Structure 1
């Protein structure tokens, strides 16, 4: 099990503005080693309770928010990440468990018993939550991510474009899914994630962004469209 403690700030900006930022980011930070020149595909399948508790907690602005998702980076992946994201305002913890392709497909069928075979406490916690809440797949979100990394405070800057939601919530490993776009035009979501603080040089660049921070939940947007 992997646990990540993070703070995050989100902005919705244009691709043109991001290209302007990359001139500075390429000097201050390193591009992610994954994908091509730091750019790769992310596909997440979100789970929620029978009454969509996690969705309404987010829409109602509840301080404590929870999300359960299965994440892959290619339909050919033989493993997936089962993630439990807990957020309080801008502070967050992300717990992650690596599961097999076959187990991810069992998740789609709401067959969560395999989690009891794992020794990690997270697996037992998720099993109880999934079963008691009647959790099931609610949507699939896919997007293209360009990521930068900085060793100071473990800072990551990501820019997500071509954000779209699957018409149906099933088929996490499908080669071709039917999608609808979640953000129109040339805009994307810029996220700044860090542990304790943002280095002053990077903070100066962020302050030049021509938009205000906003709570931009891909899961909530997807549910409002589907």
Structure 2
């Protein structure tokens, strides 16, 4: 389920922060620091995150070349430039334009929208036990009854995060920080409560869950 993103950013601190955040969301991030590198690295990537201020080739030039090479791949521009002229210049080829500073959750949300529009997030459902999960549509269907299961935004985000790491044991800290974007405080019951309500909706028997497994003392996982 991992989607490969190309991230072009020459600032090491910002680049490292963004990469870590996106990888926590389950994306595979290929980070390069120059426009010249980007043109070679774009193959196989489903979306491009492009900083405007780059050494050598500037972001506008890089973006135009990438779009010409593959018009179907969405480009999200990142820039500290807030003038309308810069935005209009970027949006001549880019699919979205986000100004710095930005909240990482907003970046993730914009990426998800662009991937849904392009169809790159995948329209085929993921089958887990009796469930069919349409990630790009935020839908979960009981394959036995055909009924759609309504989840809250947080419930779907938790389930989607576990699915992106199918078979892996994810710690409570990892899940909480990925979903809430905040540091986990030991003893906080928020995640546990959300998991309980999520199980009540998706498990055939919430008292003996088969979809979301508790790994005592560590966290949770969804078995393939």
Higher helix fraction: Structure 1 or Structure 2?
Answer: 2
Q: Normalising by structure 1, report the TM-score.
A: 0.24
Q: Between the two structures, name the one with larger relative contact order (CA 8 Å, sep ≥ 6).
A: 1
Q: Relative to total residues, which structure has the larger strand share, 1 or 2? A: 1
